[in-house]
């Protein structure tokens, strides 16, 4: 009997993470002689710890294919970070116990920075315990901040969403600015890295010129300089659109909108900087403002997903299985770009030691000298990632998504409290 595989989704979900799941499951199904069943963790790694495994073999081929058109995490994801091997040794050992009980020889972890680190540690412990396990990390993050890959599945679709939304809103604001709103602010995700903020910049092009300012988390907020730019734009072009990162910081490195809340990873829960920036322009310059907070809408907007992003999300899932079949342990599947125009990419494999606990920030050369825009280099990088449309089927006017049966595997072990 071939070994089974375990697949889990981790951290914030995306419009295309289920395409990676489909890539894993469909590819595994084509290699029945080497991979038995694919078990998915219910609610991510928590499913492994609690032995709550979903038997993906109970899902039809068409249901698995339909994952490519369904946002969110079909098996559930979680924000549960496995800490150091010493601190969380019992958890790591439990994982191996569960894997052993279910003949799991492949571990596919579909997530961002934190899960790359977990994937590496699981690989190290299984090796130390002499349990044969091939661990492959499948990249996913809207933040696009994973090291070792040209870009991250999930990002391209958010990029397309925020650029589309800003362009559309700018056409609205432009037509009302004479007597109504002159400042429009769109707050976007990206706690530390300003990739999504940069993508807002694509809204403005030769054919659709928009008076647009970007506020990056990488650039300390300079109130006086910012207000002067807003004022000049409103005076010369009638209105001003602003894309601001939730992670905008002041010169002391403090988040402008620190709410005091923290998520279970210990990260500050942000939100509200868009409103703050909008109100600032009114208070200091007297402008009438509106602001939008796209929040989860931006990362779940499957209806406007990037076709390139979808293809890459599927490809990293498929390539993950192929790497595992090659016995390539403790690697992450990467996306390798060989050309901007025409865009050419392939998948590669990078050792997890080169990925875990690093962050891939927006290079300074991607941000214009004044700090409020993107450069031609940034455009060349971003442009191919938003190319192409692949909308889901619509039924009765709305996108039609799939909900899996998610049938649990019978437990073999005593309960475990996490």
Please report the beta strands in 189-330, taking only residues with DSSP state E, as ranges in sequence order: 212-215, 240-245, 289-293
Binding to a copy of itself, residues 262-291 (CB under 8 A)? 263-264, 271-272, 275, 288, 290-291
Closest CB to a copy of itself among residues 163, 330: 163
**Among 60-68, 197-205, 248-256, 346-354, the segment contacting a copy of itself (CB under 8 A):** 197-205
- Residue whose C-alpha is closest to residue 136's, from 62, 28, 230: 28
Tokens of 111: 């997530």
**Among 7-15, 217-225, 344-352, 356-364, the segment contacting a copy of itself (CB under 8 A):** 7-15
Q: Does 9 bind a copy of itself (CB under 8 A)?
A: yes
For residue 389, give the DSSP letter: B
Closest CB to a copy of itself among residues 36, 384: 384
Tokens of 386: 């938003």
Tokens of 173: 């604001």
Closest CB to a copy of itself among residues 94, 349: 94
Can you tell me which residue has the tokens 């391209």? 156
The answer to whether residues 145 and 44 touch, using CB atoms and an 8 Å cutoff, is: no
Phi (first) and psi of residue 100, to 5 degrees? -65, -45
Longest dimension (CA), the chain: 73
Q: Is 307 exposed, middle or buried (0-12, 13-18, 19+ CB in 10 A)?
A: middle
Q: Does 292 bind a copy of itself (CB under 8 A)?
A: yes
CA-based Rg of the chain, rounded to a whole angstrom? 22
Binding to a copy of itself, residues 141-180 (CB under 8 A)? 160, 163-165, 167-169, 171-176, 178-180
Closest CB to a copy of itself among residues 89, 400: 400
Minimum distance, C-beta of residue 324 to a copy of itself, in the bound complex (Å): 24
Minimum distance, C-beta of residue 330 to a copy of itself, in the bound complex (Å): 26
Phi (first) and psi of residue 416, to 5 degrees? -135, 130
Q: Does 46 bind a copy of itself (CB under 8 A)?
A: yes
Q: Does 400 bind a copy of itself (CB under 8 A)?
A: yes
Minimum distance, C-beta of residue 293 to a copy of itself, in the bound complex (Å): 4
One DSSP character per residue, 33-99 reads TT---EEEETTTHHHHHTT-EEEGGGS-HHHHHHGGG--S-TT---------TTTTHHHHHHHHHHH
Q: Does 80 bind a copy of itself (CB under 8 A)?
A: yes
Closest CB to a copy of itself among residues 5, 305: 305
**Among 61-69, 97-105, 301-309, 332-340, the segment contacting a copy of itself (CB under 8 A):** 301-309
Site string for a copy of itself, 108-147 (x = CB under 8 A): ----------------------------------------
* Options 127, 383, 408, 416; binder of a copy of itself; rule CB under 8 A: 383
| Active-site annotation holds for 340 | no
What value, to the nearest 5°, has the Cα angle with vertex 291 and ends 365 and 206? 45
Closest CB to a copy of itself among residues 43, 117: 43
The answer to whether residues 320 and 348 touch, using CB atoms and an 8 Å cutoff, is: no
Residue 339's beta-bridge partner residues?
344
* Options 23, 36, 41, 76; binder of a copy of itself; rule CB under 8 A: 76
Closest CB to a copy of itself among residues 112, 148: 112
Minimum distance, C-beta of residue 142 to a copy of itself, in the bound complex (Å): 11
Which one from 143, 145, 204, 309 is the annotated catalytic residue? 143
Active site residues: 143
């Amino acid at each position: 009997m071939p070994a089974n595989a375990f697949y889990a989704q981790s951290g914030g979900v995306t419009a295309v993470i289920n395409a990676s799941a489909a890539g894993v499951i469909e590819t595994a199904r084509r290699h029945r002689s080497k991979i038995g069943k694919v078990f998915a963790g219910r609610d991510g790694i928590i499913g492994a710890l609690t032995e709550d495994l979903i038997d993906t073999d109970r899902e039809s081929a068409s249901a698995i294919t339909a994952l490519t058109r369904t946002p969110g995490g079909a098996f559930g994801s979680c924000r549960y970070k496995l800490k150091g091997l010493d601190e969380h040794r019992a958890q790591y050992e439990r994982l191996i116990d569960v894997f052993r009980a279910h003949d799991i020889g492949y571990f596919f972890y579909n997530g961002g920075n934190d899960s790359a680190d977990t994937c590496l540690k699981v690989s190290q412990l299984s090796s130390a315990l002499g349990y044969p396990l091939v661990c492959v990390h499948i990249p996913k993050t809207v933040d696009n901040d994973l090291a070792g890959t040209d870009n991250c599945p999930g990002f391209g679709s958010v990029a397309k969403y925020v650029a589309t939304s800003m362009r559309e809103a700018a056409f609205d604001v432009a037509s009302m600015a004479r007597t109504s709103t002159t400042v429009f602010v769109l707050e976007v995700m990206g706690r530390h890295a300003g990739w999504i903020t940069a993508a807002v910049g694509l809204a403005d092009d030769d054919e659709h010129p928009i008076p647009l300012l970007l506020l990056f988390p990488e650039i300390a907020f300079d109130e006086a300089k910012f207000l002067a730019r807003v004022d000049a734009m409103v005076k010369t072009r009638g209105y001003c659109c602003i894309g601001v990162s939730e992670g905008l910081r002041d010169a002391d490195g403090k988040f402008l909108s620190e709410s005091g809340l923290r998520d279970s990873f210990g990260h500050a829960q942000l939100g509200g900087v868009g409103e703050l920036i909008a109100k600032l322009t009114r208070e200091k310059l007297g402008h009438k403002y509106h602001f939008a907070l796209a929040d989860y809408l931006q990362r779940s907007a499957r209806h406007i997903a990037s076709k390139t992003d979808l293809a890459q999300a599927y490809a990293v899932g498929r390539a993950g299985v192929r790497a595992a079949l090659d016995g390539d342990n403790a690697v992450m599947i990467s996306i390798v770009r060989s050309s901007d125009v025409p865009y050419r990419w392939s998948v590669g494999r990078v050792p997890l030691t080169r990925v875990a606990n690093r962050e891939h920030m927006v290079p300074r050369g991607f941000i214009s000298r004044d700090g409020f825009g993107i450069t031609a280099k940034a455009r060349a990088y971003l442009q191919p990632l938003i190319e192409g449309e692949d909308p889901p089927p619509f039924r009765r006017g709305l996108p039609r998504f799939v909900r899996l049966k998610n049938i649990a595997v019978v437990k073999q072990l005593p309960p475990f409290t996490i």
